Structure 1
């Protein structure tokens, strides 16, 4: 039986607790049931892991400090039509079911895979492996997809077989909490240091200034006899340089953000300002610095 003194101590603890971290609506500190506090579910870290707005912002500030010391920014990557194009195996025509799995070599017309566990066939966008390798030197990367957990992890295993790029930073529809669209609310990254790469502008209506919009990548096509990879799309995919252009742009954004005195307080800078300046240069070519190559026709001006 709990004594009056013990009961009083528990009550005081609950009253003083800021309810920063809780699992299954139970505060980890005071063990109080929480159902009305403003919070964010971070299911990609743990299926029942939730933090308060204040704790999320504290974690963001702490992580941002570490990123600035490393001179890194954050990069949020979509999967479908951005890094890959996938279809279900049962949608393929009989001829396409004879697909041979390609090697892991990063070649323009390679990287076609069967994902037996999720019954999908996936085509990797040309130069995606080079893109991830080069981008990882400048950015800490997340995957953010509306695909389900099983599919996302199978794709991430293809893209990052040694788990060097993403770690646990894979956000899926099972974990993101939004019914429609995507949001940085559940990402432990300060918004002033985040760049987003996606093929769908409507997915990021609250964060358009952070967005690089890339042209959709297609390899398969729906037809009367199922899904095929017609010759025209195959040839087009070979010459797809979308990720090459974006990598060039990401390098310019990173350079612009960290330009200046090496001892400067980078925490006061905002990547969105850098991106807006580059948008102005794209819209107004006469403002470009000589020999400066932007190479991003899909980089949307706002």
Structure 2
């Protein structure tokens, strides 16, 4: 069964965007700046309202990029993170709920263990989306995530919080 419901417009291409180090950079921290001196763009607090569980930076131009892309693409954000984390990120990136049509999390990934490093890897199988692969693109900073669909991958440099990043502007030019 496909991960996504049927599309209303089959002519519209699907743009699958990775979350971590592609759209945002999240870190676990007890302080809002992770010791770097750079203020966080978002913070998630524990239920007591005092302890900062997560904080992070939005990739420069992320809102402008999503607003532009939503006019031409069906936007799917797919993270190897847990569902509660994905929900938090969706609210942060699209508080009105009008840009990101679908959000997928770790539950929708194929879990594999590297024979060499014993590291757990999460693979995003675009075939499982139920979309025409000739009109589906995956933007991700980790090529192994697209190992089942490398011809659909648009690689992007990993984002770790720097303010001078212009990858999303370059991606827009490429997609145009």
Q: TM-score, normalised by structure 2?
A: 0.81
Q: Does structure 2 conserve the Cα–Cα contact (< 8 Å) formed by 1:115 and 1:122? A: no
Q: Deviations over 1:162-200 (max 9, x none)?
A: 000123x111012x1511311113213211110110001
Shift of 1:113: 1.1
Name the count of aligned residue pairs.
161
- Whichever of the two has the greater Rg, that structure is 1
- Tell me: CA distance 1:86–1:67, structure 2 relative to 1, closer, same or farther (3 Å): same
| Partner residue in 1 for 2:97 | 163
Runs of 4+ in 1 over 2 A off after TM superposition: 92-101
Paired with 1:94 and 1:160, the residues of 2 have a C-alpha distance of: 23
Query: How many angstroms apart in 2 are the aligned matches of 1:150 and 1:86?
Result: 14
1:67 aligns with 2:10: yes
Work out which structure has the larger RCO, using CA pairs closer than 8 Å and 6 or more positions apart in sequence. Answer: 2
Structure 2: how far apart are the matches of 1:82 and 1:162?
Answer: 21
Q: Partners of 1:123 and 1:152 in 2: how far apart?
A: 15
Deviation at 1:204, TM superposition (A): 0.6
1:82 pairs with 2:22? yes
In the alignment, the residues of structure 2 paired with residue 119 and residue 97 of structure 1 have an alpha-carbon distance, to the nearest angstrom, of 17
1:198-246 CA-to-partner distances (Å, cap 9, x unmatched) read 0011111111111110001012xxxxxxxxxxxxxxxxx2221000000
TM-score, normalised on structure 1?
0.49
- Deviation at residue 98 of structure 1 after TM alignment: 8.8
For structure 1, list consecutive stretches of 5 or more residues without a partner in the other structure: 1-39, 46-58, 102-111, 220-236, 252-302
Q: Where in structure 2 are there 5+ consecutive unaligned residues? A: 47-51, 112-121
Residue in structure 1 matched with residue 133 of structure 2 by the alignment? 191
Structure 1 or 2: larger helix share? 1
Match for residue 123 of structure 2? 181
